[in-house]
Structure 1
């Protein structure tokens, strides 16, 4: 086991595309399409868990959120607009530079740091919500990565993990289809062997003191050109967990 979660080869892939983070028609187009269903799920669970007013303009005022592997800040910015105090971390300094510039242009105060989850844990930081979104399939030392993400969840807080299932359908659609046929993603973006099953994620969450509270699949509807929640977790899925209050 390595002492770091950084996979240099995976990091290089995203550094090479960093300039396109905020181009909805560029190489991160799939994430722009994916963002509405991710945000809706986060909003739904934060409102319910923390008893917030769904009609408020900034319902997450006073809540702290860290987005681990934040990239260009596609989730950090809307969550900041909803009132949360947001920290975005990424191992790629170029991603953080892009995120900072875009936040500045947008007039948003977001704490962006070029660091890793394990390094952030060492500072003693903890948050009401820890986001682990489409990152775990790109890291080294999954055990250390999931433990560090869990360690960042304060008592009574939540964590959301989103990733790809290790199934034949996931390979056919998320790797072969998305990268080679539809060309939604650059070839080589994903390695099917690094995909993780829901049961594996839930076991890692549980072993690190968290309780799984919700799970959902996410599927693409081509006629509507949008992603939606689904009971089908065979390809993309999200799992919510909480750290019991002390």
Structure 2
């Protein structure tokens, strides 16, 4: 297990225990598989706008470096590699990295997977990266403020970071914690700690003083009738924000 201020050993152990099932669309990560299309579209569209790329091209992001922090089994890393990004993907769990690396190799994809942390990358002078993905991770770390600052500092001048997390609201407690874990059984009990959810204004405050501008939140909601996620104006449960680094 990678060590560092951003690492919560209990959280790493919880996800490590399920590492072999990351790519099982009907297993414990089934909600992420359903969630992935809306995340991928948001990332693609935001990156295309930021870097002036044409998404009609087969590999529109060729030549750009991407860092996927807390990559898990690579559910975002692999599609990003297919879009042309040069992908470095890190996770604090050795088992997650092993599962991700094996799956990517089977797909013929070249992804630089590492068992590491944001603070270690920063200390080692890694990057900078044109795009940093910080997706559904900040609510699982020990020090969210330092973690967000470290990950923002890994972005290149003129680059960007995309943050996705859960809002600390009563609605999120009811739906994302109690509903998802104990009623619908979408997630294993204990996956989330509601007290660690972040309000959008807290994300902004943590990054205050950094050479970045923060946009959003951009809400994401689940439609049970259509059985799909989509972008909405409602950021009371799931939301994403873009962090744009000054050039």
The separation in 2 between residues aligned to 1:193 and 1:235, in whole angstroms, is: 13
What is the deviation of 1:139? 0.5
Q: Which residue of 2 is the match for residue 139 of structure 1?
A: 141
Q: Deviations over 1:55-103 (max 9, x none)?
A: 1000000011001000000000000000000010000010000000000
TM-score by length of 1: 0.97
* Structure 1 runs not aligned, ≥5 long: none
* Count of aligned pairs: 244
* Deviations 1:4-55, CA, capped at 9 Å, x for gaps: 1110111111011111100000000010011000000010011111111121
1:175 aligns with 2:172: no
- Work out the CA distance in 2 between the residues paired with 1:18 and 1:109: 20
- C-alpha distance in 2 between matches for 1:143 and 1:214: 18
CA RMSD across the alignment: 1.1
Aligned to 1:244: 246
- Aligned-pair CA distance for 1:129: 0.5
Alignment correspondent of 1:161: 163
Structure 2: gaps spanning 5 or more residues:
none
- Whether the 8 Å contact between 1:214 and 1:241 is mirrored in structure 2 is no
Runs of 4+ in 1 over 6 A off after TM superposition: none
Task: Give the match's secondary structure for 2:101.
Answer: helix
Task: Report what 1:92 is aligned to.
Answer: 93
Partner residue, 1:121 = 122
Query: Contact 2:148 / 2:206 at 8 angstroms: preserved in 1?
Result: yes
Q: Which residue number in structure 2 is paired with residue 9 of structure 1?
A: 10
Query: 1:35 maps to what in 2?
Result: 36
* Match for residue 189 of structure 2 among 179, 187, 190: 187
Alpha-carbon contact 2:89-2:111 (below 8 Å) kept: yes
Alpha-carbon shift at residue 3 of structure 1 (Å): 5.7
Query: Judging changes above 3 Å, is the alpha-carbon distance between structure 1 residues 3 and 22 closer, same or farther for their aligned structure 2 residues?
Result: closer
1:213 offset after TM fit, Å? Answer: 3.2
